[in-house]
Amino acid sequence: MIFLYSFLFCGFICLIGQIILDNTKLTPGHITSMFVVIGAFLDTFNIYDSIVKIVGGGALLPITSFGHSLIHGALSNAHENGIIGLFMGMFDKTATGIVAVIVFSFFFTLIFKPRD
Amino acid sequence: MTIYYKNVYLNNTSCVTGPYEKKGPLGKYFDKSYKDLYCGEKSFEKGEIRLVKDSLNILLKKSNLSKENIDLIVGGDLLNQITASTYGSLGIGDFIGVYGACSSSVLSMIIISNFIEGGFINNGISLVSSHNMTSEKQFRYPTEYGAPRPSSSTFTATGSGCLLLSNNKSNIRVESSTLGRIIDLEENDPNDMGRVMAPSAIDTLKRHLDDTNRSVDYYDLILTGDLGKYGLEIVKDYMKEEYDITLNNYNDCGVMLYDLEKQRDVHAGGSGPVCSALVIYSYIYELMKKKKLKRVLFLATGALFSPLLLYQKENINSICHAISLEVVE
């Protein structure tokens, strides 16, 4: 069942993105940032974690999970180091993603050319 | 301002395109087409310069002229500092660079016509180019980003077109031209150029008709440059409602260049300075040579903006230049 939920949730996020793109003047950049903020917002109230429990990977794949990881990292570090921990921990959980993007992009640009 | 000409003739044309244009309905009219957007070069920008060089060489060859015979080249494109035109026409004739965005094709024709009519030069080449990927990079997103585009967006044509104008008599002449004014209707969506540019096409068309005391039926065909299918409807509707002019003999080059049903990637139609040039310099030029069309009014529309000013919440302005071509009886 988790596979179905996962598929439906991820598809739902994409559907929202497509509807916004088709009906407003917002650009893909706007939508991406908006989803990060929404993910962060939902995680602040522990809602995103509950979603992850139900739908699994389908909630971790879309960009909303980036916002979720930002808040997670910030809050867990804040527990140990207080206010300053908010800033220290922000990129703890997301570092893997960011570094992976940079490293893989580098290697792929060595091999491939941009196409239309 | 409308200027009349007595002594300016179209002598020859050349069109070099990318793969999408070749697959379109006008594919057979082009002189040369590349199979991919790199055009045998290492980057898209260098590919665009290759297109310009090719079209210039083909034009010189077709009209049996050498580089030294060319008095003036007026060219424009969409790259920063119009470098495709300058690098591409290095070593051939005197050069004037123009920037009228997608209206550069007619703007360069008007400038050369004025020089020839004034007796300052004997011949000149109007040169335009654009490239789908370089202009995406320039005006919208990096090519690697792969951003999806809405259905109102137009597809920048890839190619380069050259036109030789001179005082040597031929079957087709430049009859008159109307220079455009910059129009601002507070539009700011770079993915809906048809809506941005349609008002300037309407303005220039109306002023041309008023200046010359002509009705739209005087022309066998009225063509706008690259409004796409939505912009085309706006022009038709507005002319009907505001001035009670029915445009039966009207079409848009952006709609003609591609098969909008089969080539879904182009969305609302073609755009870019070369879009209008590829249609006029190939298909329309052939029809006029066969005298199937005798009088054609050509309105090239351009959107004047920079991404930087768009980020600073400025509007996109537009301009439209018109030139009237006529078969010599």
- pLDDT tens for residues B230-280? 999 999 999 999 999 999 999 999 999 999 999 988 889 999 999 999 999
Q: Contact B322/B224 with Cβ under 8 angstroms? A: no
Q: What is the DSSP string of B62-95?
A: HTT--GGG--EEEEE-SSGGGHHHHHHTTTSSEE
B44, B144, B150 member nearest A21 (Cβ): B150
For residue B183, list its beta bridge partners: B318
- Which one of A15, A102, A116 makes the best mutation probe of the B interface by having the most chain B beta carbons within 10 Å? A116
- pLDDT per residue as tens digits for the range A82-114: 889 888 888 888 888 899 999 999 999 899 888
Whether residue A114 and residue B144 make contact (CB cut-off 8 A), yes or no, is yes
Whether residue B150 and residue A22 make contact (CB cut-off 8 A), yes or no, is yes
Whether residue B150 and residue A28 make contact (CB cut-off 8 A), yes or no, is no
The pTM is what?
0.89
The nearest alpha carbon in chain A to B19 belongs to A116
**A24 has a chain B CB within 8 A of its CB:** no
Task: List chain B residues with pLDDT less than 50.
Answer: none
What letter represents residue B122's amino acid?
N
User: What is the number of alpha carbons within 13 Å of residue B151 lying toward its C-beta?
Assistant: 9
Residue position matching structure tokens 């706007």: A30
Residue position matching structure tokens 């040597």: B168
- pLDDT per residue as tens digits for the range B72-95: 999 999 999 999 999 999 989 899
A22, A27, A114 member nearest B143 (Cβ): A114
